[in-house]
Amino acid sequence: MAWGVRKITLLDNGKVAMSNPLRQSLYTLDDCLNGGEFKALAAAKSLKCIFPAVDAEGIVISIPMPGHPVTSQEEKSVVDDCNCLHNLVDSHDAVFLLNDTREPMAPNPFEC
């Protein structure tokens, strides 16, 4: 925001857990109560408190990890969320994918 960024869209389907405020400054302990607020919504709310002129939006969306199976019950929801993500990528100047992954990291070819 200090660099002039005014429109920020945050995507996540997770809820704020007790460990999050200790590691991530956009969350408070109040965000953890009653099962936790959705991370994207809580983070957008915090950004607006920090800088009221920011246009911050939180979207609850679930994108499955690449290579992981999707059940037939989840298929329509996953397709809808992927279409939403595609539209968001098309409408934004920069996208940072910070999704969690359980896939092993490839070895660094430059490491001795």
Residue 101: the pLDDT is: 60
User: Is there a contact between 53 and 4 (Cβ–Cβ < 8 Å)?
Assistant: no
Q: Which residues pair with 38 in a beta bridge?
A: 15
CA–CA dist 31, 42 (Å, integer): 7
> What residue ranges of the chain have pLDDT lower than 70?
97-112
Q: What is the pTM of this model?
A: 0.79
CA–CA dist 84, 104 (Å, integer): 27
The 10s digit of each residue's pLDDT in 73-98 is: 999 999 999 899 999 989 988 777 66
